[in-house]
Structures are given as structure tokens and as C-alpha cells.
Chain A
């Protein structure tokens, strides 16, 4: 009995987890890539290591009474894939080039991922971040897949281990 419960829970934990991984991977592989303008602000979390807090410029442009706890924004992208805010989504069809992105209302509008975690000691590399690169699927779910600098280069960790100060 006890063994049964323990094994059943094991299957459940692994199942739930891998299902979540699958969903994220689907967003990454089928989603559309956009860049969001950043206003960066960096501490260490208890069990996840070093990270940088992100604030998206678009989030600062959105305001108004129509905002709900959780909803969709309509964005359009320019030739560099940098996204701009168009309007709040009220269900009408999208114009060509437009896409939807989920927002949540917290202390102001929050767009999906608001922090970027990186390998310890790489803070200097990511200090140059200017854009966050998101993969957005049709439902507006987004995964932050990387940071880019002002000339749109993807920031990658320096291979040599930089010494911690």
C-alpha cells in the first residue's frame, strides 16, 4: 500500500514535470521570436543562483482602466523583430504582422518572465543586455530564451571562468 502510493506519486511527479517541459519546448520550437526593449536592473536567489531582474519598456507604456488581472496585449514587430505595443486585445482578429502576448497585472503590468538567470560569475556579460528575446506561441504564452545587446547580438557566457570578486 505504502509502496504503491510512493511509486504512484513518483510517476505523477515525473509525469507532471515532463508535461510542463514539453509545453515549454513546444512554445520554443513553434513560437514566433520577438525582441522586447529592456530597462535592466541583480541579486542571488536562494536556490537558483545568480539572476538579473528585467523590466520591459512596453510594460511601462501600457496603462488604463481596461486592464484586467490577466489578459492579452497586441504587439507588432519591426524589421529587427523589436516589438511595439499596439492595443489591448479585446478579441478582434489580428492584422498581419501582429501577435498576442499574455500580461498579468501586478504592481503595474508584468509581461511573462521578469528575471533572467545565468551562470554564476557572468554578471558582466549580461550587463550589456538591451533586448529580451521571447518565443511567443499562438496563445500568447512566452518563453524568454536569451538577452541581446543594442546591436542585436545574442549574449553568450564567456567560456573562461571569470574569477568572482
Chain B
């Protein structure tokens, strides 16, 4: 549907004032101010590497003072510079410089904080320092790239901390629950605050990535053989998230009375329990991507789906004969479900 047709429909339904419609049309003539994603990626890579090369130089200054304090102070100075630069101008070079300053300043400030904190809990202090700096800068430094990299780094650090340092498998489930919840909450909120969008994308990347991390630890070549455990709690958590998503799409819990939605919900739970929760995550992200027409989310889902299948093939616990039976049966279940869905009139479907 074209934009003009949609607006006309809204006006005729009486939910849109014709004057507002004209303002929207007028506004649409101006080109979008947001960069195409290709430029964002290039700018992100450039900013990141420039920041890395800035660090030794900062280090020289920092070492001339007490090193921990020195790093912290130069980090804060750089961050403030970045924020001011970003506020002052939107043009290309200063923008790129501000991004590099912000990333370098962030790394320096985190390094300084870790140095100042206790040495016994390196992981915890690094994560805390990172979270504190990011929390302080996020609202003020208006750059999706910085926000995305920061949030993603936080997720990766926490996941690695759980896997490498704590070596406590059940915590993985807690992580997955937090990530699922974050996605659910941000799905509602980001249309109101665009600044939360990078956080949402980071969460969308981290949920499947955490599951992949988990799968990797279950392979027989993994060096920490003690890091094993039942996967079903994660399956249940992700299934719960997926069911909530379906119900929301279908228009509330009342719609559960429809038998086909109940069938879908049941199938989802079974699928997750018997195969791998990764498949549920992929389905959920495809659903979010379709609902919000967010190709980024759909793309992430499409990339992770085969990854999950391959990891599922290589993980132990059960032999291939069992996996084969379960995967085939799940596939047949889904095809049967599709057949059932075909028999229903589209009008009865969800909206």
C-alpha cells in the first residue's frame, strides 16, 4: 500500500486530521536524514579502529599521571569532547572524530575504573565499569553506532563472564530470560524513544548469540566439560516469550480461545522442548521482523537459523538417531499445522 493511499484511508476513517495529513505529505518530500545502513557500518568500523589506535596515545598521557586516574581522566575528557562535538555539528569528519573519541574515551575510562577497583574480581569490575560509563554516556551521546556497540559489548561480556569465569551453567538460563524480557519490553518502548532502538537491536543480536555460546559449550571439543546442563529451562523461557508475542499479534489473551492459536502455542512449546531453543528464537525474531517490517531483525533471524541447526547436529547429549527422529517429527508437525492453517479463512486469522 502506498503512503498516500494509507493516509487517505486514515482520513476517511476519521482517525487522521486532513491538515495533519498535508503536513505529513509535505514533510515526506524532504529526503530522510538517517544514513543508509551501509554508511552506518562503514562509520562504525572506522570509528572503532580509529579509537583503538588512539588508545596508545592516551596511554602516554595517562602514564604521566597516576596511571589509573590518568586513564579515567583522559577517558572522561574524550567523552565530554565527543558529546560536545556531536552536539555542535552533524557534518562528516567531526562526526567521525566524535565517534572515535567516544569509543576511545569509553575504553580509557573503563580501563581506569577497573584499575582503580579491586583486582580480585576483574570480570565483575570490568562489567560494572562498562555499564556505569555506558549508562552515563548513552543518553547524552546521540549516536546509534556508539549505543549499539556499547550494549552489544555489555551482553557479550556478561555472557563470557558466566561461561568462562563463573562456570555455572544454570545462570545461562537467567541470561536468556533477561534477554528475552529486554526484547519484549523494548519492542513496546522503542517506537516512543528512538534512542532505545540500538539497545533493542543489540538485544536481538545477543539472544541468539547467547544460545550459540551455550551450544558451543555443549560440544565435545569444549574445554570445560563441567559446563553442561539441561537446556529445557531455556526452551521454556523462549517458548513463553514466543507465546506472548503470538498472543499480542493475535490481539490479546482472549484470542487463545481460538483452537488454531492453541495448536500453534502447543506446537511451539513442543518444538522448543524437543529440538533446540534456537529454532524458537529464529521464529520469534522472524515474527517481530514481520510485525514491525524490520528487515534487520528478519535478517538476523535468517542468519542464525542454519547456525542453530548445524550446532544442534554437533552437540552431544543424544545420538543422531534420536535427533533425526525428533527433527523429522517436528518438521512433519509444522507441515501439518500449515495444512490446518490453510483450511481456515484468512479473515479468521490474527491482525
Identify the A interface with B (CB < 8 A): 44, 49, 120-121, 161, 164-165
Contacts and interface: CB of A to CB of B under 8 A. Distances in A.
B316 A165 contact: yes
B269 to A, nearest CB: 26
Interface in B63-113: none
Nearest to A44: B314
A120 B319 contact: yes
Contact of B321 (A44, A120, A165): A120
A165 B320 contact: no
A164 B320 CA distance: 10
B217 to A, nearest CB: 16
Contacts of B314: 44
A120 B220 contact: no
A49 B319 CA distance: 11
Interface residues of B, number: 7
A34 to B, nearest CB: 33
Interface in B313-329: 314, 316, 318-321
Contacts, number: 12
Contacts of B318: 164
B312 to A, nearest CB: 13
Nearest to A164: B319
Contacts of A121: 319
Interface string B297-339: 0000000000000000010101111000000000000000000
B129 to A, nearest CB: 41
Nearest to B220: A165
A18 B106 CA distance: 65
A15 to B, nearest CB: 29
A49 B316 CA distance: 13
A165 B228 CA distance: 12
Contacts of B320: 49, 120
**Interface majority SS (helix, strand, loop, mixed), chain A:** loop
Interface in B136-176: none
A139 B320 CA distance: 38
12 contacts: A44-B314, A49-B320, A120-B319, A120-B320, A120-B321, A121-B319, A161-B319, A164-B316, A164-B318, A164-B319, A165-B220, A165-B316
Nearest to A47: B313
Contacts of B316: 164-165
- Closest CB pairs A-B (n = 9): A120-B320, A164-B319, A120-B319, A121-B319, A164-B316, A49-B320, A120-B321, A165-B316, A44-B314
Given A164-B318, A165-B220, 10 more contacts: A44-B314, A49-B320, A120-B319, A120-B320, A120-B321, A121-B319, A161-B319, A164-B316, A164-B319, A165-B316
A48 to B, nearest CB: 11
Contacts of A161: 319
Contacts of A164: 316, 318-319
Contacts of B319: 120-121, 161, 164
Nearest to B323: A120
B321 to A, nearest CB: 7
A121 B320 CA distance: 10
Of the listed residues B318, B320, B321, the one surrounded by the most CB atoms of chain A closer than 10 A to its CB is B320
A54 to B, nearest CB: 22
A93 to B, nearest CB: 49
Contacts of A120: 319-321
A102 B316 CA distance: 39
A165 B316 CA distance: 8
A122 to B, nearest CB: 11
A50 to B, nearest CB: 9
A44 B316 CA distance: 12
Contacts of A49: 320
A164 B321 CA distance: 12
A101 to B, nearest CB: 34
Nearest to B225: A165
Interface string B193-223: 0000000000000000000000000001000
B311 to A, nearest CB: 13
A49 B318 CA distance: 14
A75 B45 CA distance: 61
A44 B318 CA distance: 15
A164 B218 CA distance: 13
B228 to A, nearest CB: 11
A106 B318 CA distance: 37
Contacts of A44: 314
B203 to A, nearest CB: 32
A121 B323 CA distance: 14
A109 B145 CA distance: 55
